[in-house]
Amino acid sequence: MHADVCFLLCACFLCTGALQSCSKSRSKRETTRAERDLHKPGSTLLMRSPDVTKAPVTKSEQLLKLDDHDFTMRPGFGGPAIPVGVDVQLESLDTISEVDMDFTMTLYLRHYWKDARLSFPSNTNQSMTFDGRLVKKIWVPDIFFVHSKRSFIHDTTTENVMLRVHPDGKVLYSLRVTVTSMCNMDLSHFPLDTQTCSLEIESYAYTDDDLMLYWKRGNKSLQTDDKISLSQFLIQEFHTTTKLAFYSSTGWYNRLYINFTLRRHIFFFLLQTYFPATLMVMLSWVSFWIDRRAVPARVPLGITTVLTMSTIITGVNASMPRVSYIKAVDIYLWVSFVFVFLSVIEYAAVNYLSTLQERKERSQNSRQLPCTCGMTHPGQMMMSSSYSEMDMMTTGNYGMSELSDTKQEQFLVHLVMDNEQGAQRPAVTTSSTLNIDTHAIDKYSRVIFPGAYTLFNIIYWSIYSQ
């Protein structure tokens, strides 16, 4: 019995040794075959590179020690105010709206400060640059635009934010922003005006005891592109200023200003407003050279110019804000409208006075007709009461050839007697000389209207073009 057990144990031991020797010999053969294949020319194993992703790499969070500090607090909390320098590069000045009283610009806003918590060891003294993902983990200045209506950070194709950290802890934080801000415009000289607008930058939470904003390089902190241009304005000047702003509930804050001065181009308004208005006024003067009896010619001309001026005034006011003061263009257009309206009134006065004068002449002629008593010939009917003495003088003997010589003598006697009686009545002669010469009104208007309008233009442009 013991012999059988011992035989089985020996057999198991021999089998285990044989299996181990077989596995070792197989692994040795596979290793030898792999080495042989490795040294074969054209083998794909030679093209494999070591997996460097498994090499230990220091993360930026570990290098900057982000987990070791509380970045909800400003740098040097409890100490003096941290200085934050700012500079701006203006990319474009997009629109300026008189109706909304605002402007839109795109700019690169850069902040400079030092945060010792972000310092890191470096043998090459090279800075590290990050995108917007790291910005959310550290402290950055809470800058906002005062009086802004709309603003956004560009995010195409990624968020346009850059963070650069130097080994000594100095930080550069840059972002690309488009902002629409309010601009209080004085349009009393429009369109001969000059406007000054400001973009105001301020910290929202930190007063001047915690954060001190300043321009990094003074007035040179504002850089502009030479290609910036506007359709209606000429950019005259860009400059920067710094002031303190006080809020009754929170305190004093540093505020940075970007001021720019714009002068409006006048040529567009000369073509669209001033020249048409001037031409309408000159067109209304044409009626002074048209006969006063040509009513169908003078009345439509005056009405047309009045309606055209009304259309010009309406069109200009439709594109302007409803301000409570008078603009320079309003003065010009309304004075031009008054000149056009006065030309219509002038013809109405001429027509009315001409009618009165004709009525007086008819009444005088009816009183001055010679006595034709005793004239029984039908030719007496030709002497109508509408004819004056001059008309009878110019007609000669027309219609009286059929009268006898005796009756012609009687007619002449009566005519002479009437003339003598008229000479003895000076009051009637005096009243006839007081009649207004309606032709003279048009003659004087041809000089007075152009002269007055020219004088108005000289005064207007000398005042508002300064």
- pLDDT digits 0-9 by tens, 131-181: 888 888 899 999 999 999 999 999 988 999 999 999 999 999 999 999 999
Nearest-angstrom CA–CA distance, 121 and 167: 6
The mean per-residue pLDDT over the stretch 13-28 comes to 51
Per-residue pLDDT averaged across 218-234, rounded? 87
Asked if the model's pLDDT at residue 423 lies above 50, the reply is no
Output phi, psi for 172, to 5 deg.
-120, 120
75: its two tokens: 């740098």
What is the model's pLDDT at position 359? Answer: 81
* Strand partners of residue 255: 202, 243
Across the chain, which distance is largest between two alpha carbons, in Å?
Answer: 202
Q: What one-character-per-residue DSSP string does 161-210 give?
A: EEEEE-TTSEEEEEEEEEEEEE-----TTTTS-EEEEEEEEEESS--TTT
Domain coordinates in residue numbering, the chain = 82-264, 269-358+450-465
DSSP-derived 3-state class of residue 50 = coil
> Average model confidence (pLDDT) for the chain?
79
Q: What average pLDDT score do residues 198-226 get?
A: 92
pLDDT exceeds 60 at position 31: no
Residue 21 has pLDDT above 50, yes or no: yes
Predicted confidence at residue 96, as pLDDT, reads: 92
Residue 155 DSSP SS3: coil
* CA–CA dist 191, 319 (Å, integer): 12
pLDDT tens per residue across span 302-339: 999 999 999 999 999 888 888 889 999 999 999 999 99
What does 97-124 look like in DSSP terms, one character per residue? ETTTTEEEEEEEEEEEEE-GGG----SS
Q: How many Cβ atoms from other residues are within 10 Å of residue 122's Cβ?
A: 13
Q: In this structure, are strands 82-97 and 222-224 parallel, antiparallel, or unpaired?
A: parallel
Task: Name the residue with higher pLDDT: 357 or 374.
Answer: 357
Mean pLDDT, rounded, for 381-393? 42
pLDDT score recorded for residue 294: 85
Phi, psi at 81, each rounded to 5°: -65, 140
Cα of first residue to Cα of last residue in the chain, in angstroms, is 133
Closest CA to 445 of 274, 276, 290, 275: 290
Q: Please choose, from the candidates 381, 385, 393, the residue with its C-alpha nearest in 3D space to the C-alpha of residue 366.
A: 385
Per-residue pLDDT at 426 exceeds 60 = no
Q: Domain 82-264: give its CATH code.
A: 2.70.170.10
Rounded Cα distance between 227 and 425, Å, is 88
Same fold flag, 82-264 and 269-358+450-465: no
Tell me the pLDDT band of 402, cut-offs 50, 70 and 90: very low
Cα(379)–Cα(90) distance, integer angstroms: 99
User: Region 283-296: what's the mean pLDDT?
Assistant: 89
Burial 147-166 (b: 16+ CB within 10 A, else e): ebeeeeeeeeeeebbbbebb
Mean pLDDT of 263-274: 93
pTM reported for the whole predicted model = 0.67
CA dist., res. 183 & res. 145, Å (int) = 13
Q: Evaluate if residue 230 carries a pLDDT over 80.
A: yes
Q: Which fold has domain 269-358+450-465?
A: Methane Monooxygenase Hydroxylase; Chain G, domain 1 (1.20.58)
Give the separation between CA 340 and CA 458, rounded to whole angstroms. Answer: 19
- What pLDDT is stored for residue 333 in this prediction? 96
Most confident of 60-64, 122-126, 283-287: 283-287
Lowest mean pLDDT among 101-105, 191-195, 249-253, 353-357: 353-357
Among 30-44, 66-80, 105-119, 159-173, the least confident range: 30-44
Which percentage of the chain shows pLDDT scores above 70?
Answer: 71
Q: What DSSP character marks residue 39?
A: T
Of the pLDDT bands very low, low, confident and very high (cuts 50, 70, 90), residue 10 is low
Q: How many CA atoms lie within 13 A of 266 on its CB side?
A: 15
Question: Does the structure show a pLDDT above 90 at 12?
Answer: no
Report how far residue 338's alpha carbon sits from residue 358's, in angstroms, rounded to the nearest whole number.
Answer: 30
**What average pLDDT does the segment 256-264 reach?**
94
Q: Specify the pLDDT at position 366.
A: 77
Whether residue 399 has pLDDT greater than 60: no
Would you say residue 208 has pLDDT above 50?
yes
Residue 411 has pLDDT above 70, yes or no: no
Q: Phi and psi of 163, rounded to 5°?
A: -130, 125
User: Would you say residue 110 has pLDDT above 90?
Assistant: yes
Q: How confident is the model at residue 277 (pLDDT cuts 50, 70, 90)?
A: very high
Count CB neighbours of 355 within 10 A. 11
Q: CA 304, CA 283: separation in Å to the nearest integer? A: 10
**Whether residue 454 has pLDDT greater than 90:** yes
| Consecutive H or E run containing 377 | none
Cβ count within 10 A of residue 347 = 22
